[in-house]
Amino acid sequence: MSKPLSSFLSLLASVILLNSCEKLSTLNLSGSSESSPAAAVEPFTHPAQCELSGVNNPVRSAYKIGEVAMLCDKAIARVDTRLQEIVATPEKIQSIDNTLIAFETAMADFSDEVTPLTFTGYTSTDEKVSAEGSECEQKVGQYSVDVFTRRGLYKALAAQSTSDDAKARLLSQTLLSFEQNGLKLDDATLAKVKLLKGELSTKESQFTTNLNSDKSSLSFTADELNGATVDFLARLKKSDDGKYIVTTKSTDYSDLMQNVSVANTRKQMMLAYLNRGGPANVKLLEEAVALRGQIAQALGFKNWAAYRTSTRMVKSDTAALGFLNDLKDKLAIRNRADFAQLLKFKKEIDPTATSIDQWDLTYLSTQLQKRDYSLDNEKIREYFPANTVVKGIFDVYSHLLGVNFVEVKNGSVWADNVKLYEIHNAKDCKLIGYFFTDLVPRAGKYGHAAAFTLISGRTLENGQYSLPISSIVANFTPPGADKPSLLTHGEVETFFHEFGHIMHQTLTRAPYATLAGSNVAQDFVEAPSQMLENWVWDKNILSRISGHYLRPDEKLPEDLLKKMLSAEKFQLSSGYTKQLLYALFDLTIHTQNGPVDVTKTFDDLYREIMGQEPIVGNHFAGTFGHMMGGYDAGYYGYLWSEVYAQDMFSKFPSDDLTDPVMGGRYRSIILEKGNMQDAIELLREFLGREPNAEAFFKKLGL
């Protein structure tokens, strides 16, 4: 997941207007329509080891109590003064540079100041500092709404024109951002939109804060955890009465749901996990949905989904729903077969069983895979110690993209186990960016996996290019008392995905922050990273990134590798069906106006799509952070963008996924350009033809 923190950059990114009016269902499936051949791209050279720059604190990572709040207020005051100066510039001397470029620069500087502050709300080890970070994010969100509803600013920008292509792109997208916030409305309606958006921003921040600060856990006896792995039990803390304490962090949750044989334990765990936000977050989401409906109608749209999709590749809520429903029909047959396979297996375990409960799905799938493919996930983990995986992935990306990664050993970081790295061009060892890795769970930390932009790439006033800085924040299996962090293959895949976002964010060469990195159309933003998930199913790549934690030179054994690859498509429909469920839930609640019962809506869709009863007492909607974190009316984008991801992957030679020629094209055409061109144009240039869905449906076996 790509998660830009800056509210104004996120706002801009959410209103990118793309020229493509194509629907997925009408994408060329024959591949016969060829565009002009793409220009040749010089392959990047094999990376040599580069030297450290000597900077160990490229962005501040530690704050005293009170500092985040103080710095946040000062940053808002400072940028507001600069924006007022733009409006105060007499019309007769206004120019593209002292209006548009001045606005872009002021807001980019503001983002560089406040984003590290708001980031503390997701990662700080101090509860008070974290609370200040969350409060700062609310303030920045409110302020961003205010900025993009200012008529004076809009008037000054709208009066400009330019023959420079880059500035023209920036101008059109910036004006669109204002117009999408109601600048073409009358004063009374604009004031209403501004008020509603301010309320919405506050509720979204509160929802996220509630999830990040969740510390819920359950206690179980050893018998209640029957089937749990030795390593899992070894890393758990114990209560005073000797029970094992299991948190609702995704790592603990996944381990328990995959391996514990006691159905009631899994049921309790699932209920706890699906109640992290609780009724409070459900209420916030329902209020947000109502506010969004009011905003959309005030802006002239029939609903929030119509408003949000109008500026994306899909172009309309109708097209997005059509894509999902078409996929639902195609997946249904495969999903019924996979479900029947699980029910048959459950009956073998329990002859009295007549149905599958929601809390059975992960367990049955894991155990059936063990039986039919002789796959021991704990054995596989032994060949994926985190340090070896990270080093191997860096090696893969280095060869593929012509970059070099160097750890800053004494880097300034915000918590133990967080690491800082420099990114260099392999060809000349020029420093081009930084990134952090924050990979293991801890209390109060963001609960899933995402890539955060901290400082955006852009051309500075002195002509130099700002060094982008990003961070992976994840919750992978932590180290045990006598073992390092050993990753599941799924966690390795997640790292490949998130690191793909890091590369998108840090290899950018776009001149403007609002058009740089992963600030692209939201239904394309996941495609570059989804494409790279394919790498973890390649024999050569798996060999390069593996090594037994006790015998590092011992790679993933051939027999184990064959079993993993043979099981690649086992129960494949399950994951896609869940993504479909979440996407349809999102569009369903955001195509309605007025009060929406999000719990009932989800439960009804769960029955329809999954073919079973949802767990009673769940508040899934209150845990669905995407709905209040920028993916509202946009979750369909995960499936939509995978069509493009698989199409791009088809261009890479199957015998060498680190081919520097194709890697060079990918870096130059897809990663570096950011949003300086429409995503569909980048795809056509990279593919050398119109995009099509053949590779996507082939992967699904449809």
Question: What is the largest distance, in Å, between two alpha-carbon atoms of the chain?
Answer: 85
Q: Exposure string (b/e) for 156-165, b if CB count within 10 Å is 16 or more?
A: bbbebebeee
Residue-level pLDDT at 46: 55
Q: Tell me, letter by letter, the H, E, C secondary structure of 655-683.
A: CCCCCHHHHHHHHHHHHCCCCCCCHHHHH
Q: Which fold has domain 7-19+45-54+382-566+636-700?
A: Neurolysin; domain 3 (1.10.1370)
440 CB neighbour count, 10 Å cutoff = 20
Three-state DSSP class for residue 689: strand
- The mean pLDDT value for 181-206 works out to 94
Three-state DSSP class for residue 150: coil
Residue-level pLDDT at 12: 39
Q: CA-CA-CA-CA torsion for 110, 111, 113, 118, nearest 10 degrees? A: 130
Residues 259/231, Cβ–Cβ less than 8 Å:
no
Q: Based on C-alpha coordinates, what's the Rg of the chain? A: 25
Residues 692/27, Cβ–Cβ less than 8 Å:
yes
DSSP string of 169-181, one letter each residue? HHHHHHHHHHHTT
Rounded to an integer, what distance in angstroms lies between the CA atom of residue 137 and that of residue 118?
Answer: 5
Three-state DSSP class for residue 553: coil
User: Binning pLDDT at 50, 70 and 90, where does residue 377 land?
Assistant: confident
Q: With CA atoms as reference, report the closest residue to 691 among 658, 646, 660, 654.
A: 646
Residues 100/157, Cβ–Cβ less than 8 Å:
yes
- The mean pLDDT value for 395-415 works out to 95
Task: Report whether pLDDT(686) > 50.
Answer: yes
Tokens linked to 120: 């503390």
Please name the amino acid found at residue 475: N
Residues 614/601, Cβ–Cβ less than 8 Å:
no
Rounded to an integer, what distance in angstroms lies between the CA atom of residue 436 and that of residue 421?
Answer: 6
Sign of the CA dihedral with 37 first, then 42, 46, and 52 last: negative
397 or 443, higher pLDDT: 397
Rounded to an integer, what distance in angstroms lies between the CA atom of residue 303 and that of residue 300?
Answer: 9
Q: With CA atoms as reference, report the closest residue to 114 among 136, 99, 91.
A: 136
Q: With CA atoms as reference, report the closest residue to 382 among 254, 289, 502, 477.
A: 477
Q: Would you call 382 a catalytic residue per the annotation? A: no
Residue 24 DSSP one-character state: G
Rounded to an integer, what distance in angstroms lies between the CA atom of residue 643 and that of residue 634?
Answer: 15
pLDDT in tens, 465-518: 999 999 999 999 999 888 999 999 999 999 999 999 999 999 999 999 999 999
Q: With CA atoms as reference, report the closest residue to 434 among 468, 395, 466.
A: 468
Q: Tell me, letter by letter, the H, E, C secondary structure of 416-468.
A: CCCEEEEEEECCCCCEEEEEEEECCCCCCCCCCCEEEEEECCCECCCCCECCC
**Taking the chain, what is the end-to-end CA distance rounded to the nearest angstrom?**
26
Q: Exposure string (b/e) for 568-595, b if CB count within 10 Å is 16 or more?
A: eeebbbbebbebbbbbbbbbbbbbbbee
377 or 314, higher pLDDT: 314
Please name the amino acid found at residue 266: R
C-alpha distances (whole Å) from 12 to each of 306, 507, 512, 518, 520 are 17, 20, 12, 12, 9
Residue whose structure tokens are 């510390």? 215
Sign of the CA dihedral with 555 first, then 556, 562, and 567 last: negative
Which phi and psi (to 5°) does residue 166 adopt?
A: -65, -45
User: Binning pLDDT at 50, 70 and 90, where does residue 100 land?
Assistant: very high
pLDDT in tens, 573-594: 888 999 999 999 999 999 988 7
Catalytic residue among 113, 498, 533, 690: 498
Residue-level pLDDT at 443: 86
Domain 67-212 class?
mainly alpha
Rounded to an integer, what distance in angstroms lies between the CA atom of residue 319 and that of residue 302?
Answer: 15
| Maximum average pLDDT range among 172-176, 372-376, 478-482, 562-566 | 172-176
Q: With CA atoms as reference, report the closest residue to 370 among 575, 229, 539.
A: 229
Task: Report whether pLDDT(35) > 80.
Answer: no
Please name the amino acid found at residue 91: E
Three-state DSSP class for residue 350: coil
Residues 586/633, Cβ–Cβ less than 8 Å:
yes
217 CB neighbour count, 10 Å cutoff = 17
Rounded to an integer, what distance in angstroms lies between the CA atom of residue 211 and that of residue 216?
Answer: 10
- The mean pLDDT value for 75-98 works out to 98
- DSSP E strand stretches across 138-276: 217-220, 237-238, 244-247
User: Binning pLDDT at 50, 70 and 90, where does residue 176 land?
Assistant: very high
- The mean pLDDT value for 145-172 works out to 97
Residue 40 DSSP one-character state: P
pTM exceeding the 0.95 threshold for the entire prediction = no
Residue-level pLDDT at 447: 85
| Average pLDDT over all residues of the chain | 91
Beta bridge partners of 218: 246
Tokens linked to 607: 């029955």
Q: Tell me, letter by letter, the H, E, C secondary structure of 73-103.
A: HHHHHHHHHHHHHHHHCCHHHCCCHHHHHHH
81 CB neighbour count, 10 Å cutoff = 10
Q: Indicate if 67-212 has the same CATH topology as 7-19+45-54+382-566+636-700.
A: no
Tokens linked to 372: 């039919």
Which phi and psi (to 5°) does residue 650 adopt?
A: -65, -15
Task: Report whether pLDDT(425) > 80.
Answer: yes
C-alpha distances (whole Å) from 255 to each of 29, 262, 446, 548, 567 are 40, 13, 19, 21, 19
Percent of the chain past pLDDT 90, that is, above it, reads 84
Residue-level pLDDT at 3: 58
pLDDT in tens, 522-531: 999 999 999 9
- The mean pLDDT value for 23-48 works out to 40
Cβ-based neighbours of 137, under 8 Å, separated by 6 or more: 5, 7, 118, 121, 205, 208
Domain boundaries, the chain: 7-19+45-54+382-566+636-700, 67-212
C-alpha distances (whole Å) from 157 to each of 89, 145, 617, 678 are 12, 17, 51, 22
User: Binning pLDDT at 50, 70 and 90, where does residue 363 land?
Assistant: very high
Please name the amino acid found at residue 681: E
Task: Report whether pLDDT(29) > 70.
Answer: no
Which phi and psi (to 5°) does residue 437 adopt?
A: -120, 125
Percent of the chain past pLDDT 70, that is, above it, reads 93
Q: Exposure string (b/e) for 226-259, b if CB count within 10 Å is 16 or more?
A: eebbebbeebbeeeeeebbebbbbbbbbbbbbbb
Task: Report whether pLDDT(695) > 90.
Answer: yes
14 or 77, higher pLDDT: 77
Three-state DSSP class for residue 238: strand
> For 588, how many CA atoms within 13 A lie in the half-sphere containing its CB?
20
Beta bridge partners of 425: 403
- The mean pLDDT value for 104-110 works out to 98
Rounded to an integer, what distance in angstroms lies between the CA atom of residue 649 and that of residue 696?
Answer: 10
Residues 263/357, Cβ–Cβ less than 8 Å:
yes
